[in-house]
């Protein structure tokens, strides 16, 4: 496409968007003959509710193993004052969703490790914010600021969004200050991206860049439909593929954070997988996808309700389930004790099953009592909040005390240990038994983030 053609296409997009703005807003007066279509009135109305966020904090610096090597110390000496922490600074965006109480919605990754959070309004006022709570699983956080003179953004029902709807992204890209871009909804229900534990993204081609995180995605009625969160950026900048958390999903998390300060995420006690066309034929399911139950945990809500291996869940609370990710999102966003109505296909027939969401129970074992090399670490089953739940067999590192033997060995919170001395381990008891027989060294196979590694502990 030639540069001139690109300019014509962009101009057409803005003209169409502006025409729609005038179509949905009441006519105040006849438009002068020299006035062009514009989004300016809409932007002036919603911009005061979008804020810039700057944070500062400290993070632990992982100590290099060279400092513990006698050969290294012989030539370079001891370094007792080697810093273990470093200062961090970041910028992002947020949306005022309750002006009377001073509540600001943003991304968890923008504020999670901050010691100080400053919110800057469009009138250049700077307010110190308090973190009410955040949920890394969905990347949602709620802040509170002084409510004096604030403007809030009304929330839409994101269930009514459709591919092709015009949207506007407002945020603080690259720390430049408030910026506006426009585009359309490119896709809905994006999952399996590995960005968050619970994914149901709105995809948009409205320009989103680093610093837009936590900002607003609004419709042409000036209502909030999503919280801008992530981009696919091979070169580090926008290429027209951005993602936002639907506001309905963010609102569910926000309500729990405001009520409890944390997410009381539950479980029904099943391990699931996607229903492929081949498996659908085998299990007699005439349905567009579903979640196939591979295993039911003993004494779980699912077991008590009569669910079994081979059942296919096709609906949760009247919402269709097309994949294992759908089921995980639906259940993971419900509160403990919430009622769940399932439609299940069993032996080719649909049946209804009712149950209540149970609390996630993570068995923990302090390792120090039996294996000194692992002292300071706590282990448990892989929780539903982990992206490895139902996909990997192993033992979850629930927590590691800094500067403990386990920490110095390289173990970190949220690691998944799949084997010890090349023997697979699937629960904390098995881990401890194999590690206790490990002799003078332990070889751990670890899954961490998007990769895996071996850790040798001597």
* pLDDT reported for residue 322: 83
Q: CATH 2.40.10.120 spans which residues of the chain?
A: 39-60+86-262
Residue of 181, 213, 325, 385 with catalytic role: 213
213 is catalytic: yes
Instruction: Give 345-391 as a DSSP string.
Output: EETTEEEEEEEEPEEP----EEGGGT-GGGTTEEEEPPPTTSTTTTT
Does residue 195 sit in helix, strand or coil? coil
* Helix, strand, coil content of the chain in percent (nearest 5): 25, 35, 40
Say which CATH class 266-359 falls into. Answer: mainly beta
- Cα dihedral sign for 329, 333, 334, 336? positive
Half-sphere exposure of 295 (CA within 13 A, CB side): 7
CA distance 151 to 100: 9
CA distance 433 to 88: 40
Residue of 90, 108, 109, 326 with catalytic role: 109
Residue of 135, 139, 205, 326 with catalytic role: 139
CA distance 456 to 458: 6
CA distance 118 to 139: 19
* pLDDT reported for residue 299: 77
* Multiple choice CATH, 39-60+86-262, 2.40.10.120, 3.40.630.30, 2.40.160.60, 3.40.50.2000: 2.40.10.120
* pLDDT reported for residue 249: 92
* pLDDT reported for residue 218: 96
For the chain, the distance separating the N- and C-terminal CA atoms, rounded to the nearest angstrom, is 61
Does residue 272 sit in helix, strand or coil? strand
Q: CATH 2.30.42.10 spans which residues of the chain?
A: 266-359, 365-457
For the purposes of burial, counting CB atoms within 10 Å of the CB of 287, is it exposed (0-12), middle (13-18) or buried (19 or more)?
Answer: middle
Say which CATH class 365-457 falls into. Answer: mainly beta
Pick out the chain residues at pLDDT < 50.
Answer: 1-15, 18-30, 66, 362-369
* pLDDT reported for residue 341: 93
* pLDDT reported for residue 364: 47
CA distance 106 to 212: 10
2 is catalytic: no
CA 53, chain centre distance (Å): 19
* pLDDT reported for residue 61: 58
Cα separations in angstroms, 238 against 179, 183, 207, 253:
14, 13, 6, 28
Q: How many residues does the chain have?
A: 458
Neighbouring CB atoms inside 10 A of 393's CB total 14
* pLDDT reported for residue 372: 79
Instruction: Give 108-152 as a DSSP string.
Output: HHHHTT-SEEEEE-TT--EEEEEEEEEETTTTEEEEE---TT--P
Instruction: Report residue 292: phi and psi, to 5°.
Output: -90, 125
Which element (helix H / strand E) includes 444? strand 442-448
- Contacts of 22-28 with C-beta under 8 Å, sequence gap 24+, read 24/220, 24/221
Contacts of 255 (CB under 8 A, 6+ apart): none
139 is catalytic: yes
- Output DSSP code: residue 173: G
Instruction: Report residue 408: phi and psi, to 5°.
Output: -65, -25
* pLDDT reported for residue 387: 79
* pLDDT reported for residue 19: 47
Closest CA to 197 of 331, 386, 360: 386
């Amino acid at each position: 496409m030639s540069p001139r053609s690109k300019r014509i296409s962009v101009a057409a997009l803005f003209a169409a968007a502006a025409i729609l703005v005038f179509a949905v807003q009441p006519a105040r007066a006849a438009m002068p003959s020299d006035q062009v279509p514009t989004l300016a009135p809409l932007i002036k109305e919603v911009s005061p509710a979008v804020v810039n966020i700057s944070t500062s904090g400290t993070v632990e610096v992982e100590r290099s193993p060279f400092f513990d090597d006698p050969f290294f110390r012989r030539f370079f000496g001891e370094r007792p004052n080697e810093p273990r922490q470093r200062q961090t600074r970041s910028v992002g965006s947020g949306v005022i969703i309750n002006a009377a109480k001073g509540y600001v919605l943003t991304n968890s990754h923008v504020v999670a490790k901050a010691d100080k959070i400053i919110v800057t309004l469009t009138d250049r006022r700077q307010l110190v914010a308090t973190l009410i709570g955040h949920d890394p699983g969905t990347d949602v956080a709620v802040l509170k600021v002084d409510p004096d003179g604030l403007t809030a953004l009304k929330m839409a029902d994101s269930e009514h969004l459709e591919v092709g709807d015009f949207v506007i992204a407002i945020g603080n890209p690259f720390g430049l200050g408030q910026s506006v871009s426009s585009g359309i909804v490119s896709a809905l229900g994006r999952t399996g991206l590995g960005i968050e534990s619970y994914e149901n993204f709105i995809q948009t081609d409205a320009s989103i860049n680093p610093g837009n995180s936590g900002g607003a995605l609004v419709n042409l009625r000036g209502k909030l439909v999503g919280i801008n969160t992530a981009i696919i950026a091979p070169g580090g900048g926008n290429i027209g593929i951005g993602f936002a958390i639907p506001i309905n999903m963010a609102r569910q998390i926000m309500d729990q954070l405001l009520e409890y300060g944390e997410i009381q995420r539950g479980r029904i006690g099943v391990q699931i997988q996607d229903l492929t066309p081949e498996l659908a034929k085998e299990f007699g399911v005439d349905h567009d996808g579903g979640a196939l139950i591979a295993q039911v945990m003993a004494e779980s809500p699912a077991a008590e309700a009569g669910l079994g291996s081979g059942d296919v869940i096709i609906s949760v609370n009247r919402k269709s389930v097309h994949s294992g990710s759908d089921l995980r999102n639906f259940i993971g966003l419900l509160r403990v004790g919430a009622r769940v109505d399932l439609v299940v296909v069993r032996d080719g027939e649909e049946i209804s099953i009712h149950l209540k969401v149970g609390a996630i129970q993570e068995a923990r074992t302090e390792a120090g009592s039996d294996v000194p090399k692992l002292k300071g670490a706590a282990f448990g089953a892989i929780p539903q909040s982990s992206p490895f739940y139902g996909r990997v067999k192993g033992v979850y590192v629930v927590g590691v005390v800094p500067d403990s033997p386990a920490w110095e060995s390289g173990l970190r919170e949220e690691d998944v240990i799949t084997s010890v001395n090349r023997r697979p381990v699937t629960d904390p008891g098995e881990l401890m038994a194999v590690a206790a027989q490990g002799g003078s060294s332990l070889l751990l196979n670890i899954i961490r983030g998007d990769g895996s590694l071996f850790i040798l502990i001597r």
